[in-house]
A = this chain, B = another copy of it.
């Protein structure tokens, strides 16, 4: 077992990547982010929180992953899906893995061959830019191309094991959401509830809580990304908590709204529109639709019920990171395929500058959507203050 998965899980992942690499004319992949490296090797650690060190995984065509990493990670990497671990003592002020990585890339990619790495939407290269310049200098005539889709077309189709993990993380969040009324009654302040809710996630069995958004206000909220402040929760507020807990390396990402004392007619109406538009999308989703179709279905569902859709995306992929591609926007043409794990996240204005956001997590099956988050109740839960 590797990171709790059978070894065959990683064989399948690498083999799928090899297939796409072949199709895309790539001799080796270079991966640098926590998610990509966990995906191919099972290397799971919170040590990424330190920006001090870069980590590299090379996946050569037809071969297993070759890792080029700081020495401190060698014992953990040795438990992963690789038997090829090169290390250096990082951080090194003048050669922080550059010569080791360059040599490994030259060995993996023929002199007139092609190196692929993710450089497109939603990606970044997690290493110093100047060092990347030095690496590319050392590669001579080798071509360097964008492998964003090479990786995405594989990672976006979740295995049964991955789906089970995301569903398990969703269940932990549901358990913690059930404690919110008690938390509000104990200390009706946004920051206190945000702290207590994170603790509840841990007590429910989350390994860690990488993300929590919280907001509250009369008729909804305007800003959904600010940290929780000491704002008192008042009668008439809608309280929203949006969870990115992690268990065994996989995220959930769904929210719940709570009315502090019975909600206004406008909040009730808007919430009903969000709930019903989500139901419509759940019924309509099927492989072959495009991401932009889901945006349209949700937006039209809201408009048909007299609600005004919020700006921005109305859902996205989910898995090893809190958010993955595609994005449910009018512009995203990504084709939906069976095995994708997605969030439906419609939002609607209650009045200018005030929103409600409703979110569920699903897996797309050959015959349609299957919920991974336990479906919210049709009516917003009321917490009497």
Contact = CB atoms under 8 A, between A and B. Distances in A.
A192 to B, nearest CB: 10
17 contacts: A45-B225, A46-B225, A46-B227, A47-B211, A49-B321, A49-B322, A51-B321, A52-B122, A53-B122, A72-B312, A91-B121, A91-B329, A93-B329, A94-B331, A124-B128, A195-B203, A195-B207
Nearest to A223: B75
A191 B202 CA distance: 11
B124 A127 contact: yes
B210 A331 contact: no
A45 B226 contact: yes
Contacts of A86: none
A323 B90 CA distance: 13
A148 B130 CA distance: 10
Interface of A: 33, 35, 44-47, 49-54, 71-73, 75-76, 79, 89, 91-94, 96, 117, 119-130, 132-133, 146, 148, 191, 194-196, 198-199, 202-203, 205-213, 222-228, 244, 311-313, 316, 321-323, 325, 327, 329, 331-333
A76 B209 contact: no
Nearest to A53: B122
Contacts of A51: 33, 35, 122-124, 321, 323
Given A91-B313, A225-B76, A52 B128 contact: no
A175 B191 CA distance: 19
Contact of A124 (B47, B126, B223, B321): B126
A193 to B, nearest CB: 11
A361 to B, nearest CB: 15
Contact of A71 (B124, B194, B312, B322): B312
A173 B314 CA distance: 38
A148 B313 CA distance: 34
B76 A93 contact: no
A-B complex: 9 closest residue pairs judged by Cβ atoms: A119-B129, A199-B199, A119-B130, A47-B225, A50-B323, A75-B223, A49-B211, A45-B225, A199-B202
